[in-house]
Amino acid sequence: MDTKDIQRLIDFIAQSGLDEVNIETSDLKISVKRYGLGAPAGQQQASAPATMPAPVQQSAPQQSAPAPAAPAAAPAPEKKADTSNYITIKSPMIGTFYRSSGPDSASFVELGDEVKPGKVVCIIEAMKLFNEIESEVSGRIVRVLVENATPVEYDQPLFLVEPI
């Protein structure tokens, strides 16, 4: 694996939304980690890129000690709304979530809009392909669970729909 392959791997991981990837072969071990808003204690994030590659080792595999957990302040408990009667529209793939077809275009759906099966609710970009995500349920959009232009994981909830 040469430097260009490693850079392509890092670029792919940055766009995929994954936080950590480990690749190990008989003569190569690569660990790539991305630190989000809360970097581990002692890490500076001044103007560093979002994806930081770990050192590449050309030696036999070794075990690493688990990173110590950074103490976090306990968030105040939130009162959760009863969402048991809502239907969740989930992401069918890993990619980047977009609410509209372009920066100057209107969103496919807004809060309160009614959707029916086949109605496009968003786009998910994966590997430079823009995939229209259609509703499979009928109802009214009551909550958008993902910010525009952010990475999403497979099966991640995107919208809450109140059945009509």
Residue 90 CA to its chain's centroid (Å): 12
Name the phi and psi angles at 48, rounded to 5. -75, 150
- What is the DSSP-derived secondary structure letter of residue 8? H
The CB-side HSE value for 131 (13 A sphere, CA atoms) comes to 14
Rg (alpha carbons) of the chain, rounded to whole number: 20
**pTM given for the model:** 0.52
> 113-125: per-residue pLDDT in tens?
999 999 999 999 9
58-94 burial: b if 16+ Cβ within 10 Å, else e? eeeeeeeeeeeeeeeeeeeeeeeeeeeebbebbbbbb
The CATH number that domain 87-162 falls under is 2.40.50.100
> 11-64: per-residue pLDDT in tens?
777 677 676 777 777 777 777 666 654 444 444 444 444 444 455 554 445 555
| Region(s) of the chain under CATH 2.40.50.100 | 87-162
